[in-house]
């Protein structure tokens, strides 16, 4: 009988201590919400948006990555997005560049540009700049994207990469 009472006491003490520990470790809901908001802000600011990268005196800056509202876009399971870019030619020669020189990566999935009426493509004169849009039909899967500059007729290895996160509204 003594063994049963001692075992019961130990079991009750163990259960009570576990309940006490789990109750003390739970954060209040307001604190959790503040933490989630801070995390969202950190992930948005940790992207390479608005960060210029240079390749042979050509400066490329992705400015934004947004969802594009277009009622004529009807690809099932995909969403139309737009990456707005600023490109500067700091060389002494003309430089040709277009939206087709870029693609997105979501994990290992490569997403090429989606033809759209105002996608950029031009020859930039020396010491001039070009602002334009590149469009992508991304899958309806959440994740962080990487923008890659890799000229169509360029070498096999990508030239520049930016971590641009997820599209915003």
State pLDDT tens for residues 91-148. 999 999 999 999 999 999 999 999 898 999 999 999 999 999 999 999 998 999 999 9
Decide: helix, strand or coil at residue 165. strand
Question: What's 104's domain CATH number?
Answer: 2.60.40.4170
Classify residue 21: in a domain, yes or no.
no
Classify residue 151: in a domain, yes or no.
yes
Q: What distance in Å separates the CA atoms of residue 29 and residue 104, rounded to the nearest whole number?
A: 37
Rg of the chain over CA atoms, in angstroms?
26
Classify residue 48: in a domain, yes or no.
no
Q: What is the DSSP letter of 166?
A: S
Q: How many domains, the chain?
A: 1
Higher pLDDT, 10 or 46: 46
The pLDDT, as a whole number, for residue 46 is 85
The pLDDT, as a whole number, for residue 1 is 57
Classify residue 62: in a domain, yes or no.
yes
Classify residue 7: in a domain, yes or no.
no
Classify residue 106: in a domain, yes or no.
yes
Classify residue 2: in a domain, yes or no.
no
Classify residue 111: in a domain, yes or no.
yes
Percent of the chain scored above 90 by pLDDT?
Answer: 62
Examine the pLDDT at 3 and tell me if it is beyond 90: no
pLDDT in tens, 36-91: 443 344 444 689 999 999 988 999 999 999 999 999 999 999 999 999 999 999 99
The b-or-e profile of 97-107 (16+ CB within 10 A means b, else e) is: bbbbbbbbbbe
Q: Which domain holds residue 110?
A: 53-165
């Amino acid at each position: 009988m003594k063994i049963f009472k001692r075992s019961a006491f130990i079991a009750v003490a163990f259960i009570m201590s576990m309940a006490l520990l789990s109750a003390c470790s739970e954060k209040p809901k307001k604190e959790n919400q503040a933490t989630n908001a801070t995390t969202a802000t950190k992930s948005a600011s940790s992207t390479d948006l608005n960060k210029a990268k240079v390749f042979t005196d050509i400066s490329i800056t992705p400015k934004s990555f947004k969802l594009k509202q277009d009622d004529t876009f009807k690809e099932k399971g995909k969403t139309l997005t737009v990456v707005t870019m600023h490109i500067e030619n700091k060389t002494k020669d003309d430089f040709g560049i277009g939206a087709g020189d870029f693609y997105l990566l979501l994990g290992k999935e490569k997403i090429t540009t989606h033809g759209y009426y105002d996608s950029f493509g031009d020859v930039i004169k020396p010491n001039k700049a070009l602002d334009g849009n590149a469009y992508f039909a991304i899958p309806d899967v959440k994740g962080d994207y990487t923008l890659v500059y890799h000229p169509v007729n360029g070498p096999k290895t990508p030239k520049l990469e930016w971590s641009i996160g997820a599209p915003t509204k």
